[in-house]
Amino acid sequence: MIDFLQKLGQTTLTSLGKLGRGYFFLIHTLVGIISVLSRPRLLTKQLYSVGVLSFLIISISGLFVGMVLGLQGFYILSDFGAEETLGVMVAASLVRELGPVVAALLFAGRAGSALTAEIGLMKATEQLSGMEMMAIDPIKRIIAPRFLAGFLSMPLLAALFSAIGVIGGQLIGVGLLGVDDGAYWSQMQSTLDFQDDIINGIIKSIVFGFVVSWIALFEGYDAIPTSEGVSRATTRTVVNSAFTILGLDFILTALMFGDI
């Protein structure tokens, strides 16, 4: 019993300590962003590796998700004779939910894990403390550009995911299953609301980009500097990001679309 209590206390203290470190890390990073703005070259390099290199996985996944939505949507909607509204269904699901959420999950797996491993290894090979000894703040020089790149890339990647998904839905719905092309697009245009659907979806992806970048960079920075420590930190990035994305998605959806 005492053992159990001791363990509970230990775990609580450890996680609270980590939370506190994570918070200070975030503040420090946000302050560091100011100095990144004056040196855009640091940022463009990261935008390439975090954002541009995620293009392929996001596009292909978006295409397939859209195609599946086209198929499933068609079978359900045609039962009610409402296959004309397929465009609405595909676009609304993508823009509101699947775009931001699935793109963020993929982003955490593709870019987040890479960031954690990179920072963790830099720590393990003493690159970070080497910079500190040269009076170069690694948070400003290394972390902040990556954070900003992740934060900026995520909404764009989510938008790309949704756009390609809509085309995938059209390929299947219109091309294969014979939904009227005009109906597909015009129903979508008249039903989807810019404010309610698109802006809310973008807000979600901004929030996800923020937390995924934060989690990924902090896990790397806080990793135990051994091979095992880095591997565990990388796993934690993907798992914690997934939990956070899905949990936040519920909260954001309730706030945006519910009448609470």
Partner 1 sequence: MDTKAPPKTDIVCIQNLTFSRGHRKIFNAISLDIKRGGITAIMGPSGTGKTTLLKLIGGQLYPDKGNIIVDQQNVHQLKRTDLYTLRKRMGMLFQSGALLTDISVFDNVALPLREHTALNESMIRTLVLMKLQAVGLRGARDLIPGELSGGMARRVALARAIALDPMMIMYDEPFTGQDPISLGILVKLIKELNNTLGLTSIIVSHDVEETIGIADYIYVLSEGKVAGHGTPEQIRNSDSEWVQQFMKGDADGPVHFHYPATDYKEDLFQ
Cα-based torsion angle of the residue sequence 40, 44, 46, 47 in order, rounded to the nearest 10 degrees: 120
Alpha helix positions (H), 38-85: 40-46, 55-79
The answer for residues whose C-beta is within 8 angstroms of residue 181's C-beta and 6 or more apart is 170, 174
Given the complex with partner 1, which of 33 and 82 has the nearer CB atom?
A: 33
Q: How far is the CB of 136 from partner 1 (least distance, A)?
A: 5
Supply the DSSP symbol for 180: -
CB 161 within 8 A of CB 62: yes
Q: Which is nearer to partner 1, 140 or 236 (CB)?
A: 140
Identify whether the C-beta of residue 214 lies closer than 8 Å to the C-beta of residue 22. Answer: yes
Contacts of 8 (CB under 8 A, 6+ apart): none
* Smallest distance, partner 1 to C-beta of residue 125, A: 6
Interface residues toward partner 1, by CB under 8 A: 122, 125-127, 129-137, 141
Tokens of 95: 């823009």
The radius of gyration of the chain from alpha carbons, rounded to an integer in Å, stands at 21
Are 84 and 76 in contact by the 8 Å Cβ rule? The answer is no
* Beta carbon nearer to partner 1, 40 or 130: 130
Amino acid letter, 87: G
The DSSP call for residue 54 is G
CB 133 to partner 1: min, Å = 4
Closest approach, Cβ 117 to partner 1, in A, equals 13
Nearer of residues 36 and 248 to partner 1, judged by Cβ? 36
Task: Give me the least distance between CB of 126 and partner 1, in Å please.
Answer: 4
Contact (Cβ atoms closer than 8 angstroms) between residue 29 and residue 143 = yes
> Smallest distance from the beta carbon of 141 to partner 1, in angstroms?
7
* Choice between 142 and 156, CB closer to partner 1: 142
**Residue (134 or 239) nearer to partner 1, CB:** 134
